[in-house]
């Protein structure tokens, strides 16, 4: 074919998500495996959400509410913002894509950490803009280093807190100082996909800065704490002027009928959210204590996952764990050649992981 493909598209490396359990089992000839690689909710989905989606299936012949009014109204009341400050997305990464398309032009720059969520770079490159990277050690992000990368071409900054893949976080005070030194014309995107797991009172809550008359968009999701990753629904909270731009380019039915019904019901499932948080806090503490008992370094986290320095090639450890039926994430492609990332599972899953890791490291 004689198609002309833009150079900015050819520069993109495709996003490689964690493989589903069924594919891994086929590839490695294993069964009864456990997956602790994609930061999913080990309890499954919110029961109320499942019930609501089953009821909504009777209306699958109807288009969903293009405005997502009921869900937006419920979120606005919960968060203390107005309806016109919320934009729904097919996952929070859908909102990222809209922000990039709405506010970045070819040749302009967006500052982000390396490593971080790979879709930041992909979206930025897709519009011909330039990603500018700030190296981030496993211990966490230095906002001063990010400020040093800001130039006259910078139009956007991505901050992921609690951070994926490190689990580290930005404090309220550090962010306030950062915002004070950042040019007012730069849009700050705060990705808070894991905020529901944060327990440190100093952890940044971006909603506190929405009244600062600055261009800030806070991203959140139902995928993690509510266990709704499979229906893809998230949202952004931002000044209404920014939201109005996104609504000009948003697909009219970008959140489907079942997703809206499930998310709306999940917001009422407080018991499930508390159960999830308690499980994650308990099991993260158990995992980290056990890993340190093996003589390994693991890093503090405010998310439902954490990094482990395995002191060996992480890809080899990853492969060996796969053959034990345990799926984790190697951090080699993220620039951490001797680190793996593991999310908290059910207690019996975590025991299996620890036993497998001990065997792999000894072997």
Domains, the chain, in order of start with CATH, read 17-45+270-362 (3.90.1150.10), 47-266 (3.40.640.10)
Task: Check pLDDT > 80 for residue 55.
Answer: yes
**57 pLDDT above the threshold of 90:** yes
C-alpha radius of gyration, the chain, whole number: 21
Query: What is residue 14's predicted lDDT score, i.e. its pLDDT?
Result: 77
What's the whole-number mean pLDDT along residues 82-107? 97
- Band of residue 10 on the pLDDT scale cut at 50, 70, 90: confident
Q: Is the pLDDT of residue 64 over 80?
A: yes
User: What does the DSSP 8-state code read for residue 32?
Assistant: S
Alpha carbons within 13 angstroms on the beta-carbon side of residue 265 total 19
d(CA 143, CA 134): 9
Q: Find the farthest-apart pair of alpha carbons in the chain and give their distance in angstroms, rounded.
A: 59
Predicted local confidence at residue 59, as pLDDT: 97
Q: CB of 167 within 8 A of CB of 302?
A: yes
Say if residues 75 and 257 touch (Cβ distance below 8 Å): no
Beta strand pairing status for 329-330 and 339-343? antiparallel
The alpha-helical segments, DSSP class H, found in 104-171 are 118-126, 143-148
**Cα distance between residue 356 and residue 332, in whole Å:** 20
Lowest mean pLDDT segment, chosen from 13-27, 40-54, 58-72: 13-27
d(CA 46, CA 122): 31
Q: How confident is the model at residue 335 (pLDDT cuts 50, 70, 90)?
A: very high
Query: Dihedral through CA 42, CA 48, CA 52, CA 53, nearest 10?
Result: 0
Mean pLDDT, the chain, whole residue set? 95
Digit-coded pLDDT (tens) for 186-195: 999 999 999 9
pLDDT (0 to 100) of residue 6: 82
Q: For residue 11, what pLDDT is reported?
A: 83
pLDDT at 124: 98
pLDDT surpassing 90 at residue 282: yes
Inform me whether the pLDDT recorded for 1 exceeds 70: no
| pLDDT tops 90 at residue 240 | yes
Average pLDDT over residues 154-163: 98
Q: Is the pLDDT of residue 17 over 80?
A: no
Residue 134: pLDDT above 80?
yes
pLDDT digits (tens, 9 = 90+) for 136-153: 999 888 899 999 999 999
- Is residue 232 within 8 Å of 91, Cβ to Cβ? yes
pLDDT confidence band for 18 (50 / 70 / 90) = low
pLDDT score recorded for residue 140 = 87
Residue 136: the pLDDT is 92
Which pLDDT value is given to residue 32? 85
The CA distance from 318 to 18, in Å, is: 12
Kindly report whether the global pTM for this prediction surpasses the value 0.75.
yes
Average pLDDT over residues 92-111: 97
pLDDT at 281 over 70: yes
Q: Which of the pair, 117 or 69, is modelled with greater confidence?
A: 69
pLDDT of residue 256: 97
Residue 24 has pLDDT above 80, yes or no: no
| Start-to-end CA span in the chain (Å) | 50
71-84: average pLDDT: 97
């Amino acid at each position: 074919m004689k198609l002309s493909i833009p150079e900015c598209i050819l520069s993109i490396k495709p996003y490689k998500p964690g493989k589903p359990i069924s594919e891994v089992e086929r590839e490695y000839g294993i069964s009864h495996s456990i997956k602790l690689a994609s930061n999913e909710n080990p309890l499954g989905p919110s029961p109320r959400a499942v019930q609501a989606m089953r009821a909504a299936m009777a209306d699958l012949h109807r288009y969903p509410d293009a405005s997502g009014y009921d869900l937006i109204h419920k979120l606005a009341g919960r968060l203390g913002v107005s309806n016109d400050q919320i934009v729904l997305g097919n996952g929070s990464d859908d909102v990222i894509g809209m922000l990039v398309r709405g506010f970045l032009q070819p040749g302009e720059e967006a500052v982000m950490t390396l490593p971080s969520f790979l879709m930041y770079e992909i979206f930025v490159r897709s519009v011909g803009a330039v990603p500018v990277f700030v190296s981030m050690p496993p211990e966490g992000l230095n906002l001063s280093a990010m400020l040093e990368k800001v130039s006259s071409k910078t139009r956007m900054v991505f901050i992921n807190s609690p951070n994926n893949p490190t689990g580290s976080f930005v404090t309220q005070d550090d962010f306030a100082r950062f915002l004070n030194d950042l040019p007012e014309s730069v849009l700050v995107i705060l990705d808070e996909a894991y905020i529901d797991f944060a327990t440190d009172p100093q952890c940044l809550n971006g909603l506190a800065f929405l009244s600062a008359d600055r261009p800030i968009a806070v991203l959140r999701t139902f995928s993690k704490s509510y266990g709704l990753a499979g229906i893809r629904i998230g949202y952004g909270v931002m000044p209404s002027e920014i939201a109005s731009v996104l609504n000009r380019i948003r697909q009219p039915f970008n959140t489907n009928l079942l997703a809206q019904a499930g998310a709306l019901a999940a917001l009422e499932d407080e018991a499930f959210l508390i159960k999830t948080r308690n499980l994650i806090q308990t099991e993260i503490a158990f995992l980290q204590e056990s890993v340190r008992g093996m003589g390994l370094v693991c890093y503090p986290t405010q998310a439902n996952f954490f990094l482990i320095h395995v002191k060996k090639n992480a890809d080899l450890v990853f492969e060996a764990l796969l053959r034990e039926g345990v799926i984790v994430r190697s951090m080699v492609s993220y620039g951490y050649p001797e680190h793996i990332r593991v999310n908290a599972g059910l207690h019996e899953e975590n025991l299996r992981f620890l036993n497998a890791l001990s065997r792999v490291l000894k072997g």
